[in-house]
């Protein structure tokens, strides 16, 4: 097992860990967003509600995409 093989394996494992962390953090981020939206003083700011509603989705999709790309590059380098 060469150095390139270990690098590919580490990329695959790192990507899978990133995807697992995304699924673990998603409910925590949703609770935080709900807390922000429940505060009457912050809810009056223009555009804050829409930003807070969409940000958990953007974070989740970004982490899933990053983990998927890392896993994909690891599989690609392991194959050839």
Under-50 pLDDT residues of the chain: none
> What pLDDT, on a 0 to 100 scale, did the predictor assign at position 1?
60
pTM of the predicted protein model: 0.81
**Whether the Cβ atoms of residue 55 and residue 4 lie closer than 8 Å to each other:** no
> What pLDDT, on a 0 to 100 scale, did the predictor assign at position 5?
79
Instruction: Please count the structural domains in the chain.
Output: 1
CA atoms in the 13 A half-sphere facing the CB of 7: 8
């Amino acid at each position: 097992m060469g150095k390139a093989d270990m690098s590919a394996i580490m990329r695959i494992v790192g990507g899978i860990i990133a995807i697992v962390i995304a699924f673990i953090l998603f409910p925590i981020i949703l609770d935080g967003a709900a807390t922000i939206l429940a505060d009457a003083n912050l809810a009056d700011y223009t555009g804050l509600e829409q930003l807070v509603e969409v940000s958990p989705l953007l974070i989740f999709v970004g982490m899933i995409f990053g983990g998927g790309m890392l896993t994909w590059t690891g599989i690609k380098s392991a194959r050839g």
